[in-house]
Amino acid sequence: MLLGEASAVHGAESCASVLLDEARSFPVGGNPRSVALGDFNGDGKMDLAVANLDRSNVSILIGVGDGTFRDAVNTPTLPHPRFVAAGDFNKDGKLDLAVANIDFNSVSILLGQGDGTFIRSATRIFDVDVHPVFIAVGDFNGDRCLDIAVANNGCAGCRIDGSVSILLGKGDGTFARAVDYPEGAHPVSLVVGDFNGDGAQDLAVANVLTVSVLLGRGDGTFTPGADYTTMLHPVSVASGDFNEDGKLDLAVANDTAGTVTLLRGQGDGSFLKSTSYKTGTLPVSVAVGDLNGDHHLDLVVADLGSEDIWILLGDGAGAFRPPVAEPVGAFPGFVLLDDVDGDTKPDVVVANENWDTVSVRLNTCPFAGVQLSIGFVAGKISLTWPHTSRFYEIETASSLNSPVVWQPIAQSPSLSQGQWQMLVAPVGPQGFFRLRRRSGD
């Protein structure tokens, strides 16, 4: 049995500017540094997991479904958790967490119980290189088990430059021994994407001095690509097709320069430096998504030197309007875009380091709905949706019984007869699919 699901939001096609509700803040632990979103208790509503650097815990905030959250419940970790990412690492249909332990040169896996709690006794720890600060999740060897890429910042005083660690998942919550790739000076952020169009997942890494590319071979190994200069001190990188030529581009936040730089993808794993935009005094995190429903990707930048985020609306040709500041909270150090109130529109979620809070600004722009169609082509499941709706991804689940875990399908759609199409091989006796507006990192 197959089921297609696409949430429709009725209203205007797009907004001339971004419309955000007032910021709502939710207390978490000390010095929150990153946020992961997912349905941790299986009720169909988005929850938050927050890594608190000054506490030995991750805060879990269960979503009510309207963009608000219950009081945080803290899950113990090793001291000074620097980053948290979510994924179903043991394939039991329940979301788990991967936590970067900056002082212990390791990543902890917290196995979810499907009710918003995590099994402390089952926590597993895997060694990586020196000072892990960022985690990205993907399937690097095509075995349908989630893998982890870790940016290790190294130690300037110890003359250790840092690296990227790759941990290949076994599908049972454990990982093979980390393989480290030397990657520039002090990696601080990375993003997963197919930058050369070969179907294998690649990595782009912000290294404080440059942005480096690791090209995936599709077997879990990587080959070094080129290094790209942006402006002074690149610290965050996100990807998206900003000029809509079918090739992934990069947006890089440069904190010392106070800018965001665009690197235009050539489709072969290489990039050309493009425009830079002034974005506050200390931009440290950048996220990508279509905020105003015009089918063009936009940028949101967290400015650690203020109480603001900066929004840059894209024109679809690779350029952006002048940045507009929106208040969130003191010292916003991490930003992501995702739908937290169930209306399919990307909302803004920010970790405020010095206020020990997470702020949420709900997107109030009325988007038009998008329809997902399902059929069969040559023994495969055909999933199609309109060509004008570019910034969506297909998620799949094997069951709709609670808890439901939707997982993104790790492949790119192609154009067919004026529509986006994805062909998926059937797995199991039944499958469920939904179309979801893609968020940016």
The structural domains of the chain, with segments of one domain joined by +, span 1-17+365-441, 18-361
Comparing 4 with 118, the larger pLDDT belongs to: 118
Going by C-alpha positions, the residue among 339, 340, 350, 333 that lies closest to residue 82 is 333
Q: How far is residue 242's CA from residue 314's CA, in Å, rounded to a whole number?
A: 7
pLDDT of residue 344: 84
What percent of the chain is predicted at pLDDT more than 90? Answer: 69
Say if strands 2-6 and 431-437 run parallel, antiparallel, or are unpaired: parallel
pLDDT of residue 415: 75
Question: In one letter, which amino acid is 34?
Answer: S
Question: In one letter, which amino acid is 407?
Answer: Q
pLDDT of residue 368: 59
CATH architecture, domain defined by 18-361: 7 Propeller (2.130)
Neighbours of 78 (CB within 10 A): 17
pLDDT of residue 12: 39
Global pTM? 0.84
pLDDT of residue 137: 97
Region of 174 on the Ramachandran plot (φ > 0 left; ψ -120 to 50 alpha; else beta): beta
Q: What is the pLDDT of residues 117-166, one digit of tens each?
A: 998 878 999 999 999 999 999 999 999 999 999 999 998 677 778 899 99
> Is 283 a residue whose pLDDT tops 60?
yes
Helix, coil or strand: residue 93: coil
Q: What is the pLDDT of residues 319-353, one digit of tens each?
A: 999 999 999 988 999 999 999 998 889 999 999 99
pLDDT confidence band for 281 (50 / 70 / 90): very high
Please, what is the end-to-end C-alpha distance for the chain in angstroms? 33
Question: How is domain 1-17+365-441 classified at the CATH fold level?
Answer: Immunoglobulin-like (2.60.40)
- Calculate the average pLDDT of the chain: 89
Check: CB of residue 245 under 8 Å from CB of residue 254. no
> Is 5 a residue whose pLDDT tops 70?
no
| Residue 122: both structure tokens together | 């089952």
Q: How far is residue 425's CA from residue 380's CA, in Å, rounded to a whole number?
A: 5
Q: How far is residue 203's CA from residue 222's CA, in Å, rounded to a whole number?
A: 9
Residue 165 β-bridge partners: 150, 180
Question: Lowest-pLDDT range, 125-129, 220-224, 382-386?
Answer: 382-386
> Is 86 a residue whose pLDDT tops 80?
yes
pLDDT of residue 3: 45
